[in-house]
Structure 1
Amino acid sequence: MPYDQLFVLLLLALVFAGFLFELYPPEVTALSASAVLLATGILGTDDFLNVFSSGAPITIAMMFIISAALERTGVLTLLGDVLQKQARGSMSRAVLIMMAAAIAASAFMNNTPVVVLLTPVMISVAASVGAAPSKVLIPLSYAAIFGGTLTLIGTSTNILMSDVALAAGQPRITMFEMTLPGLFLAGAGMIYMVIAGRYLLPNRASLSSVLGQERKRKFLARLLIPAGSAHIGKALADLPFNTSQSRILDVIRGERSQRARLSSLTLEAGDRVVIKTDAGELLGLKEDGSVAFNEMHDTGFEPVTAESTMMMEGSIGPKSMLRGRMLGDLRLRRTYGIYVLAVHRDDRNITESTETLRLRFADTLLLEGPAEGLQRLVADGGIVNLSTPSERPVRRGKAPIAIATILGVMVLAAFGLMPIAGLAVIGASVVMLTGCVDPEEAFDAIDWRILFLIFGMLGLSQGLDNTGAAETVVAFIVGLTGGFGPLAALAAVYLFTSLLTEMISNNAVAVLVGPIVIGMAVQLGYDPRPFIMAVMFAASASFATPIGYQTNTFVYGAGGYRFRDFVIVGLPLNLLFAVVAVLVIPLFFPF
């Protein structure tokens, strides 16, 4: 094997390892791989710049904007209202209707906002029928994945595979080309979730209930340690008001929070202790005299700093301003009067040393503070409220325009009047010009991480092609599968793609596996179309882990799931999809 082929294949292995162990974000890993190829001369600058002329990334970016318009005009809110009304106290009815609604919505728009916006609705519905959120959130994520496979614009993977097919000399994938086999898969998935889901889905408690949320009304109070107080020099654990009925959340010294060192802190004159306690404890503290309240009223409460609080569970959404930032740097106390009591991540609740924790997408936070402060944090885009469906001003009057735009894009693309990339640009312009979505909101809706992941992977794919490494891999696969017939080859392609997509990004899988599979089919003398469809469906069908697909990652934290919950529920569904796909795809796309 030539050295340049060996080098590119080793680089590909390193990229897979980088995706798997997440030492860097996936988009950084992918772009760095292209940078290495550029630096070594394997990939020319002109070759890499050609990557940016691909129609898939611009189509995906424009569809993010159109999806934002559908969200902003209240289309998803309307779906949530219907779900809540139709549940009627029946868990099975609620899950069935929810899955149908999520499938329908995800066929027309990006499925991540569908799951983000419907998650608090389904938590509320689950509470209304006496069920845990964990009984409904995995079905919600899976249904959104089902729906994304039904149309070309349902998921970025489909759009990307269309571009991969075109680059390999195959016809573009049309708007509804995959719809009929996709309906078979979605139908099988719904039946599985309704029947098997009730036995396999776990009954997990929410973050707030795990940490023992008290039923008795609590207050946040700020106590001043005056000069001469008997508490000066004491550790917090030795304070008489640090009891099972009260909890010290912070100590403010000057203008600086001392929360990171509460376990070792001793009090000084002038310290302000932030405490969560009930009314009786506050009145007792007033009579004690060792602490002081400013401007005490007859109620015994300081008007600004002693206020009724509430707990709320919130999740870090894909567009959250808190994503990637350290908790201690957010100044949530100063800005909103809010304290983070715990963070749920990767199957564990983090209650200690949260100040140095850097927040990630799908982290679930247990927050406490005044209702007004929590509402402002949600309105500012910091978190997704999981406790209750949050109301947001929507432009319902513009909803017909947004719906007409997405339908226009789909119908015109189906008739082949213009490539999907051009139609998507026109559609995005229409929803911005008509005020369905503001330009700032529109461009904020674009997930630049996905786009740069695609650019990086397209560069790596070009390197595989330039060195002939792709042909070497194709020849190896042909040698393994050539004697077993087309059905066995199709099954191998589906299972291999499905395995990869559980570990790394579905878009990365499509870019790398797509060209190789097309080359394999051509060498074996088969029509590449069924193999293209197998890659497309398998790349999106990520059910067995919470890391293979963004919607799974989001509900992982929101539902309080454990990693093995996805394995138990999702692995049989992966195998079911593999069987159905191998049987159904050849019916619509003969070999």
Structure 2
Amino acid sequence: MTVEQIIVLVLLGCVFVSFFKEFYPPEVTAMGASAFLIATGIIDTQAFLAVFSSPAPITIAMMFIISSALERTGVLQILGDFLRQRARGSYLRTMLLMMFGTMLASAFMNNTPVVILMTPVMISLASGVGVTPSKLLIPLSFSAIFGGALTLVGTSTNILMSGVATEAGLEPITMFEMTLPGLILATVGMLYMVFAGRFLLPDRSSMSSLLGQGGKRQFMARLLIPAGSKYVGQTLNDLPFTSGQARVLDVIRGDTSLRRELRDLELRAGDRVVIKTDTGEILGLKENGQVEFRDISGQGFEPVAADQTLLMEASVGPNSHLRGRALGDLRLRRKYGIYVMAVHRNDRNISDRIDDVSLQFADTLLLEGTAEGIQRLMDDGGVINLSAPAERPVRREKAPIAIATILVVMALAALGIMPIAGLAVIGAVTVMLTRCVDPEEAFDAIDWRILFLIFGMLGLSIGLDATGTAGMIVTTLVGLVGGLGPLAILAAVYILTSAMTEMVSNNAVAVLIGPIAIALALELGLDPRPFVMAVMFASGFSFATPIGYQTNTFVYGAGGYKFRDFIKVGLPMNLIFAAVAVMIIPLFFPF
């Protein structure tokens, strides 16, 4: 073993530890690994730049744009309306319709936006059928994953595996090559959820109901402490709150929020005190005469006439500008007049030292503020409303164009008229030129984190190949499993890929395991196709943890789930899928 091979193996281990421990975002870790290989001379710059000409990331980016056009033209809204009309108060009927519809949509669209858009619909439907949202959101995520396995464009992992196969000298995966085995697996998954999985789903309350909202209408009042008030120099405890319903949210001095210092704070003239209280308390404070409800200082302090507060749940989306930033640095109070009361992440509600929390994708936030302020935050793309489906104008008249575009792209790709990358570029430009989606919306829809994760992992793959490390791994594997027979080796590849996908990004696993599985098959004199399919299915089907797949991550926070809920429902499905996949893959793709 050479020094370079040792370095690459250690680097590979560090990458997976970082993925699992989340020291850095996955895309930063992946690009960091490539940067390290370039800096040490293990791969040269020109070799790394070749990853940016890979067709897979370009195809994925263009499919994000086409998918956003389907979203913007109201295709998913039509699906949501259909579900509401057909639910008829039946939990089982609602779950079956939702799973089938979501699976169908996810076969043609990127499944993450499908789940994001359908989550508020399912939350609003849950109360109508007498269940909590946690009874519907895991099935929603799982059905989107089923649908992603039905076509080449169903998920970015499929497109990526097609690129891996092409780079290894194999034929690219065609549009419907995986559809029949995918349908069998999806049918097995739906039967499992109907006859077993739905009884394992937890009955979890939402974060807002756990924290309580109170029975009376509440208002957010902003009080000015004028010069000469008897409360100057006193603490917040001395303010005349009599009913016990009032709660101080903030004290603003100049342009500075003193939210962290409320316990020992002495009031000064000009301080603005933000409280949440009911109507009677506001009237009592107004009669007191020691606080003001209007500006007497010239600082632009507004009256509180109609500022009824809302307490609602929202989630941080995959493209939110809030991601990676501490709450205290976002100045949500100043920009939108709202407060984050708690953050739900990884089985727990965070309400202490909340300003220090750095937001992540799928964090669920409990927001309190005015309807206007919360709406502005949602319109700016900061959060996704989990309380109700988003209300924004849709371009329904453009829906036929968007649907026709994706169908033409898929048909021409299936007929081999043009590579999928070229068709995806044409399709993306078509939906923008026809105004199915605005250019700004289109480019915002691209998940650049996924693309840079792929670029970084492709660079690491180049390092594995250039140093002979990949060949060494294959030789070792041949020595271990070479005598077990092709079916046992296929099972080992599937189970290894599935296990790794539950811990780290599915795209990262596909890029790393795919080339090794292909090389292993060639070394043993077997057709690589079944192994390509095994890696593709195993990396796409992630059910046992909330961190292996983005849709699971999103509903994890939105449904108030615990980590063990996914293990309880998803692990049996993983095992069933492994058994079924190993049996049916060789039937469609012989060794």
Compare 355-364 and 73-82 and name the one that shifted more: 355-364
Cα displacement (A) at 1:181:
0.4
Q: Number of residue pairs matched?
A: 586
* Distance in 2, Cα, partners of 1:407 & 1:306: 49
2:393 counterpart of 1:393: yes
1:84 aligns with 2:84: yes
Asked if residue 159 in structure 1 is aligned to residue 159 in structure 2, the reply is yes
Q: Which amino acid aligns with 1:194?
A: V
Q: Deviations over 1:541-568 (max 9, x none)?
A: 1111111111111111111111111111
Alignment of 1:200-349 (within 5 A): 200-241=200-241, 244-294=244-294, 303-304=303-304, 307-349=307-349
Q: Is 1:251–1:258's contact at 8 Å kept on the other side of the alignment?
A: yes
Aligned positions of 1:151-550 closer than 5 A: 151-241=151-241, 244-294=244-294, 303-304=303-304, 307-550=307-550
CA contact (8 A) 1:221 1:306 kept: no
Alpha-carbon distance between aligned partners in 1 of 2:96 and 2:38, rounded to the nearest angstrom: 50
Corresponding residue for residue 107 of structure 2: 107
Give distance in 2, aligned partners of 1:244 and 1:424: 60
Q: Is the 8 A contact 2:493 2:531 kept in 1?
A: yes
Separation in 2, partners of 1:439, 1:414: 28
| Displacement of 1:381 | 1.4
Equivalence for 1:299: none
Supply the distance in 1 between the matched residues of 2:295 and 2:252 (Cα, whole angstroms). Answer: 19
The answer as to whether partners of 1:464 and 1:470 remain within 8 angstroms in 2 is yes
State the AA in 1 paired with 2:20: L
Q: SS of the residue aligned with 1:105?
A: helix
AA at the equivalent of 2:155: T
Distance 1:305 1:349, change over 3 A: farther
Contact preservation (8 Å) 1:26, 1:453:
yes
User: What amino acid maps onto 1:119 in structure 2?
Assistant: T
Would you say the 8 A contact 2:243–2:281 is kept in 1?
no
Letter in 2 for 1:127: S
Q: Quick check: 2:222–2:274 contact (8 Å CA) kept in 1?
A: yes
- RMSD between aligned residues: 1.6
- SS of alignment partner, residue 163 of structure 1: helix
Q: CA deviation at 1:295?
A: 8.1
Letter in 2 for 1:121: V
Q: Which deviates more from structure 2 when the two are superposed, residues 225-234 or residues 342-351?
A: 225-234
The aligned counterpart of 2:299 is: none
CA contact (8 A) 1:236 1:242 kept: no
Decide which moves more: 219-228 or 148-157. Answer: 219-228
Structure 1 pair 119/525, CA: closer, same or farther in 2 (3 Å)? same
| Paired amino acid for 2:183 | L
- The corresponding residue for 1:582 is 582
2:70 corresponds in structure 1 to 70
Quick check: 1:362–1:556 contact (8 Å CA) kept in 2? yes
Show the counterpart of 1:95. Answer: 95
Structure 2's unaligned 5+ residue stretches are 297-301
Is the 8 Å Cα contact of residues 293 and 304 (structure 2) preserved in structure 1?
Answer: no
Question: How far did 1:282 drift?
Answer: 1.6
Whole-angstrom CA distance in 2 between matches of 1:45 and 1:243: 69
The match for 1:56 is: 56
Report the Cα offset of residue 319 of structure 1: 1.6
C-alpha separation between the residues in 1 aligned to 2:101 and 2:364? 25
Moved more, 166-175 or 328-337: 328-337
C-alpha separation between the residues in 2 aligned to 1:290 and 1:47? 72
State how far apart, in whole Å, the 2-side matches of 1:317 and 1:377 are: 12
State whether residues 395 and 436 of structure 1, in contact with CA within 8 Å, keep that contact through their aligned partners in structure 2. yes
Change in CA separation of 1:395 and 1:39 when aligned onto 2, cut-off 3 Å = same
Map residues 132-147 of structure 1 onto 2, 5 A cutoff. 132-147=132-147
Deviation at 1:237, TM superposition (A): 4.1
Report deviation, 1:305.
5.7
Residue type matched to 2:498 in 1? S
Residues in 1 aligned to 2:173 and 2:242: alpha-carbon distance in whole angstroms = 65
Question: Aligned partners of 1:574, 1:238: CA distance in 2, in Å?
Answer: 59
| Deviates most, 172-181 or 381-390 | 381-390
Query: How far apart are the structure 2 equivalents of 1:19 and 1:365?
Result: 24
Provide TM-score, normalisation by structure 1: 0.96
Q: In structure 1, give the amino acid aligned to 2:443.
A: F
Cα deviation digits, residues 176-226 of structure 1 (max 9, x gap): 000000011111111111222222111111010010111211111112223
Hey, what's the Cα distance between the residues in 1 that align with 2:326 and 2:18? 23
1:28 positional shift: 1.1
Indicate the SS of the match to 2:293: coil
Residue identity opposite 1:56 in structure 2: A
Secondary structure of 1:483's aligned partner: coil
Are the equivalent residues in 1 in contact too, given 2:224–2:295 (CA < 8 A)?
no
> Distance between the aligned counterparts of 1:154 and 1:198, measured in 2?
25
> TM-score scaled by structure 2?
0.96
Contact 2:149-2:182 at 8 Å conserved across structures: yes
Structure 1 CA distance for aligned equivalents of residues 234 and 476 of structure 2: 72
Q: Residue 80 of structure 1 aligns to which amino acid in structure 2?
A: G
Q: Secondary structure of the residue that 1:14 maps to in structure 2?
A: helix
Distance 1:74 1:233 in 2: 57
CA contact (8 A) 2:235 2:265 kept: yes
3-state secondary structure, aligned to 1:349: strand
2:455 aligned partner, one-letter code: F
Contact 2:518 2:532 in 1 (8 A): yes
User: Which ranges of structure 1 fall in alignment gaps of 5 or more residues?
Assistant: 297-301
State the Cα deviation string for residues 133-187 of structure 1 (Å, max 9, x = none): 1111111111111111111111111111111111112111110000000011111
Q: Is the CA contact (8 Å cut-off) linking 1:242 and 1:248 kept in structure 2?
A: no
The farther-off stretch of 214-223 and 489-498 is 214-223
Pair 476,295 (structure 1): closer, same or farther in 2 beyond 3 Å: closer
Deviation at 1:229, TM superposition (A): 3.3
Tell me the alpha carbon deviations over residues 256-312 of structure 1, each in whole angstroms, 9 at most, x when there is no partner: 21112222322222222111111122222233333333389xxxxx84466212211
Aligned to 1:38: 38
Residue deviations 1:470-492, cap 9 Å, x none? 11101111112112111111111
CA separation in 1, counterparts of 2:306 and 2:252?
Answer: 15
Q: Is the 8 A contact 1:507 1:539 kept in 2?
A: yes
For residue 148 of structure 2, what is the aligned residue in structure 1? 148
Amino acid at match of 1:443: F
Query: Does the residue aligned with 1:344 lie in a helix, a strand or coil?
Result: strand
> Is the contact made by 1:165 and 1:172 (CA closer than 8 Å) also made in structure 2?
yes
Contact 1:220 1:306 in 2 (8 A): no
Farther off after superposition, 229-238 or 367-376: 229-238
From the superposition, tell whether residues 190 and 411 of structure 1 become closer, same or farther in structure 2 (CA, over 3 Å). Answer: same
The amino acid across from 2:365 in the alignment is L
Q: Is the 8 A contact 1:222 1:305 kept in 2?
A: no
